[in-house]
Amino acid sequence: MPKVTYREAINQALAEEMRRDARVVVFGEDVAEYEGSFKVTRGLLKEFGPERVFDTPISEAAIVGAAIGAAIGGMRPVPELMTVNFAYVAMDQIVNHLAVMRYMFGGQVRLPVTIRMPGGGGHQLGSQHSHSAEPLFTHVAGLKVVYPATPADAKALLKAAIRDDNPVIFLEHEGLYNSSGEVAEGLEAGRIGEAQVLREGSDVTLVAYGAMTHVALEAADALASEGLRAEVIDLRTLRPWDQGRVADSVARTHRAVVVEEAPPVCGIGAEVAATITERVFDRLDGPILRVSGADVPLPYARQLEQACIPHAPDVVRAVKRLMQGAW
């Protein structure tokens, strides 16, 4: 099975979906001539031409607004916002229009818009270019939110997002673009809303997504060397998320730690912890712990930035606290 990078997997998904369906169009800032800030759209202009791959003005509100209009007109647009931070200036279009329009018109219009946005910290880009904004989008009814951790999932879930008749926020962690993994040839579209157990265990369930999935796996390796067996679940999709698979795992392990890069207040970890408590409270042997990013704007200085982002030792310490009853 060939290995490809996360970047290449997304590029393959875009190209294959554009070949499959002439209604799929790609546009955004510098996605055509420059082939994207992270080179995800490399080669698309050459293959599909300027009518299906084109650059836009520097206006995220206009990009999303154009995507909404194109979708209502029968297209399947895949706009790229250069970073998730820039989505804040398009929130009116995303929240007040894209997310609700299908409901407001009683299902008479479809909004098959997939907004691709890279984000996350760890790159010394300062507070205005390092957001983990997934909790904001996950809160919005009418949106689906996908955050893959591996090249295979990035490709399969992007295909699923593009084919979905509902608006999808497709998040990509900048730190994963150069990561590589096996991607089967002819990989078909995945299923939005299904988590995956990446490692089986019996002592504690680690729930993560995006780049934090790899942190959780690293922590599980470290715990295994000390005789602790951690089950690792990659959520993959944040809205809808796979409550059943997570609850079933925690019911077996009796303990849970949720790992997220975003700050903890009203975050994904809080949602997962609350749901676990509601579904399997009587099976828990301790509180659900959260390992989250620091509740501060992300610093520019490398040492401070890294101190604000969860790492495997942070997860290991949380698990040991849980196992020892030291909460």
pLDDT in tens, 276-309: 999 999 999 999 999 999 999 999 999 999 999 9
Distance CA 185, CA 55 (A): 30
Q: What gap in Å lies between CA 289 and CA 322, rounded to an integer?
A: 8
Please give the DSSP secondary-structure letter assigned to residue 15: H
215, two tokens: 């942190």
**Architecture of the domain made up of 3-182:** 3-Layer(aba) Sandwich (3.40)
**Local confidence band at 1 (pLDDT 50, 70, 90 cut-offs):** confident
Residues 54-79 have a mean pLDDT of 98
Q: Which overall architecture, per CATH, does domain 196-324 show? A: 3-Layer(aba) Sandwich (3.40)
| CATH 3.40.50.920 domain extents, the chain | 196-324
Name which of 24-28, 90-94, 103-107 the model is least confident about.
Answer: 103-107
Nearest to 121 by CA among 292, 326, 270: 292
Mean pLDDT of 144-157: 98
Mean pLDDT of 148-154: 98
CATH 3.40.50.970 residue spans of the chain: 3-182
Give pLDDT, residue 153. Answer: 98
Catalytic residues: 60, 129
The residue assigned the tokens 């089986």 is 200
CB atoms within 10 A of CB 198: 18
